[in-house]
């Protein structure tokens, strides 16, 4: 269900993009499309809280020492939603990253997305990994100027669903940035973003520190 809601959010983002620049002149006077998008994000957050509290697979039910309370977020910020193609690396690098328990992991630096914010260009690496059952997945890990202050000290993640169309334009929505499970429970280990995954700006969107 969470994935279905995310897909709905992507549809609203397509409508949202042309109106983003109105924010600078209108402040908090959001357009109806922006208000609808904000409502979808807030709905998704409530559903995630319900999952975290009640689903047996959530970290709070897998680790009884982890005490649940509603997750903390920045206010939804439509300015921090961007569009980008995926720029695939000609020769994807297999690199070693480390988990929060010190274990080495292999990941493929598959490509990158890029965006412009406040007249500066930024890029985010897209990584390809494999789950224990052999399923491939793609993800973005990042840190920014809020890391270790208002947001989790290890970093935050963005899900990335690979589209087979090489010309496909992706939505990079920082309002969906989330904490890995290790931020809630010491039972888990999560990938630590590298220095190359740091954004030299404050991404004041998405999930904040849990503790």
Per-residue pLDDT at 16 exceeds 80: no
| Span 25-75, pLDDT tens digits | 345 788 999 999 999 999 999 999 999 999 999 999 999 999 999 999 999
What percentage of the chain has pLDDT greater than the value 90? Answer: 82
Q: What is the pTM of this model?
A: 0.85
pLDDT of residue 131: 86
Tell me how many degrees the CA angle 60-61-62 measures, rounded to the nearest 5.
95
pLDDT of residue 14: 47
* 209 within a domain of the structure (yes/no): no
What are the beta bridge partners of residue 157? 141, 178
Report the number of distinct structural domains present in the chain. Answer: 1
* 211 within a domain of the structure (yes/no): no
pLDDT of residue 7: 57
Using 50, 70 and 90 to split pLDDT, how confident is the model at 18?
A: very low
Nearest to 156 by CA among 130, 175, 138: 175
Per-residue pLDDT at 5 exceeds 60: no
* 148 within a domain of the structure (yes/no): yes
Question: 105-109, 129-133, 198-202: which has the minimum mean pLDDT?
Answer: 129-133
d(Cα 172, Cα 158) in Å, to the nearest integer?
8
What are the beta bridge partners of residue 117? 120
Per-residue pLDDT at 17 exceeds 60: no
* 205 within a domain of the structure (yes/no): no
Domain span including residue 108:
2-197
Nearest to 124 by CA among 184, 166, 170: 170
pLDDT of residue 29: 83
pLDDT of residue 22: 38
């Amino acid at each position: 269900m969470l994935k279905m809601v995310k897909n709905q959010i992507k549809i609203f983002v397509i409508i949202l993009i042309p109106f983003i620049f109105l924010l600078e002149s209108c402040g908090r006077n959001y357009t109806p499309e922006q208000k609808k998008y904000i409502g979808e994000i807030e709905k998704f957050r409530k559903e995630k809280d319900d999952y975290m509290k009640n689903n047996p697979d959530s970290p709070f039910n897998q680790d009884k020492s982890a005490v649940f309370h509603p997750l903390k977020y920045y206010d939804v910020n439509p300015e921090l939603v961007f569009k980008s193609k995926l720029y695939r690396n000609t020769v994807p690098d297999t690199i070693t990253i480390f988990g929060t328990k010190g274990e080495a992991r292999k990941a493929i630096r598959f490509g990158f997305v890029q965006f412009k914010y406040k007249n500066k260009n930024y890029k985010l690496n897209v990584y390809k990994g494999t789950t224990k059952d052999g399923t491939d997945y793609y993800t973005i890990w990042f840190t920014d100027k809020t890391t270790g202050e208002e947001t989790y000290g290890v970093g935050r993640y963005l899900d990335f669903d690979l589209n087979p169309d090489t010309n496909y334009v992706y939505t990079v929505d920082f309002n969906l940035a989330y904490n890995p499970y290790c931020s809630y429970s010491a039972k888990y280990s999560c990938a630590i973003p590298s220095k190359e995954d740091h954004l030299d700006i404050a991404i004041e969107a998405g999930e904040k520190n849990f503790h």
